[in-house]
Structure 1
């Protein structure tokens, strides 16, 4: 098999370099108009110059349009010498694209690994490229759920890094550039496309009542239609309030209606596509074989065993003493710079989005201590900034936008309850906990960020599975649980306990200068080693042999008595300590005493000197 050409450099390549690369892969390309500064401040327009352009930044810039598509590199260079065009690619000839607005494609999960572009559309959008495996497929709309269109023979899409009219760039999803082979379009999607076309629906009765279960969907659909047709926020609000009053049974509250209007009016006119009939949503069942044959890593670790792509990690620890934020910043630094973290090298590297409740002054100091002072890939949202948004769901929508724009790999929320607007005893409620986790789970349904939520440990401690303060519903929604504790009162060492659906571990780590955490070892091994060291120190400091009880008293603050006894027996077994019968025995008197094995020490010294 011929080697596929390497992709252009993400930071330095120009649009023409990308166009030539696509052509080298066999993808016919042609120039399209781009988005440029418009007459209104802060609003982009189409480079074609038509103020009423119906497809800004997306329509062909050549005389014959997509018929001019070519893989001839000389022609491509000539085109882009005339302007910095967006890049269009002609589909067909065994290649098809699914154009998905927002997260509608999630109904067909899991999606096989195939070239996938993220569009610049506000609210998210994707182009999934597939092989038709020899089937002839044309453009189709309506065969798949609303928001997902088929682009085949006679169709085209815009390719990265073209500029969207929103101001964002099209970009390739991580690990899904066209240098990987096209996956064959999944059978479940193909069946939908080739199925019978939907029957025409009857015209809606304007007096028909909208009953419970359909109210949100209907009002959102109407708001979407009005926004696409250029209506302003106030006009949409007035129309929906009237519709709600006349036809909804029972009517929603004015607050709920205004919330729907606000969620839709955030999009620019013409960009929203919310006509989704939720009642017609379908579900897909998979066999175990189909699931296990899906391509990709079994566990897409970012920082093993703490954070994985598409998974939620919960980090808990005692307030102020555990060092949760310091630990999270060390993990973020490792992810950004590819540095070793607690004994493992991050498998993926990239920017991070970090939500913090700390004041600017104290957080600035922590960033400097963590070695992040000059980092431009660490994106921060302060709690006081998040309060400017209506609610937690709105905050998470903004976080998703920032993470997409930054091409982030991970999102940290420190701590979750304040950002989720949970107050006081509300943390004890499973309802509030579920509401707090839902926007995060929704985000991971369509994006593969690794998410770390940070919470305080309950006063009573307990098992790691229930260590977080408040409702156990928080823990029930996560994939990986981490508990951080000071190790034996040390200022630098921590005990890190991990429990997940994949396994469990308990290790001792140490914070070094510069903000790096290094692995000391398995907690049990480190504990026994420390106990053995302290026993030898105690025996050295005392004149004469000590009884077992005297040693236990000397090691105040040490681990359990059982650990001390095991460590003492190990020292005797290794001939580092001597166990001899006490001079006098009897009821209540010790049978044995312990001392340093001076003979072993002297032999060791002789061997060293020799």
Structure 2
């Protein structure tokens, strides 16, 4: 016999890639007697075939964590020529195609997610994928078919030798190797459905089984259009089955509807493949909702029929607009605030969030539904804390007691599982605070909280919108504000797919010019567009310095009344040129304004703050003039 292969180098390379490894038997040694008698019922030929794939150690402990370097060293010293296994479910999932037919099916399937990392085996190939913690895949072994090696499983590692003498070898695309395991794609529910379809096509009877995914992962409704091969037929069937279950249809109706849909596909799914998908969705639904049932035959008393209402019922149910901020923001609506980078749109969103959480007026506009606010931030968490501190310092509110909650990280709203985590986190805080639902949810920015998809793609933008609508806006009937960027070519519109604009109830453009910020309504679905509002950036000194002793500062927005500013300029110009003559009432208003400014500057000076930062809001001037009898 030739010199025995030393597998030590291979196992250390796999260990450095962060994989969990266990030693197997070896084809170059006789199987131990305990293995022949216990595992193989005394059959030495079976033992010779099975031993090179069987663990030498108790490996349950290594399903959740990799062995230590000391354990690897001990094993390599004890068995330098043995085979090794990679534990699946820990960092990787492997699709085991154990025949040439299975390999051809996977490699030629247009719907299957491609992976650049593969291993050639004795009879087929192993296809490597990254484990997704949000989509748990358990080990599923089916003889002579396609196996999915997930949690609770393992695969023979490359460098090992099969009992027939074949060496397991890597087959990789040039741009990736085993050290890039974290860059591998993940298996999707659609991939599992495709694999299950291949396995089901080898059975004559109706296939049943659990594909391991939930109908909830197909929240974007399939429109019922017919599909050709390669266009996601399994995915569409799963989506439709899940929707019909949630709508109260019976198994008989679901089967009839999907059979009719499938008949017009080109080509149709195999009957066993379609049955397997339906059965998997049903079984998963019952596992997730054990307190519910699914009727076998239709029950007209359970599922509501499609119905119409007479117009008088709609007229009687008409209600006035439920404002969050009077004339500006409406409850139970989805709105967008967009602008160029650095224009101050996040300052505006923070300012609005603080006003709603504290119940204070938003620059003269009444907050009609003050309440809890959830701010889903995607970036700049340190800067956000300084802006909040500056806001409470200038406005005189203690945000420590305000129901304002800021996320610790960004979200991924195109991913349903991640969107549900956000919704569940909000729900937990609602329960902890006595059931008070949010008035405002801010998503800042769309790009940071979109996810891995393309915001220019209609399907992915619809996913983003649907998840926000279903899990946030509709659930709490609150106002949802999305902060977004302008288009690359057109600064007068938000970038991204047009489906976003179509879904909005209101849209606002934020434009910065020097130190002035202007918010202009671009769309109001059910009300008149408000007049543009202008603000100035006011610098605020924070009560701490950096390690070099430099005073830290932030900014807040202060309302800037352009009409009033224009009047003052005209008055000043008129004084110089003698062209403008003031009436008694105008003179009194100017005197009142000067008095208020002086008082504000004196107050700032007494507090050790910069008196030049004094400002008077229009509502304050109006109240002072009314109190003085100057105006009604």
The structure with more radius of gyration: 2
User: TM-score higher than 0.5 here?
Assistant: no
**Which TM-score band (shorter chain)?**
0.3 to 0.5
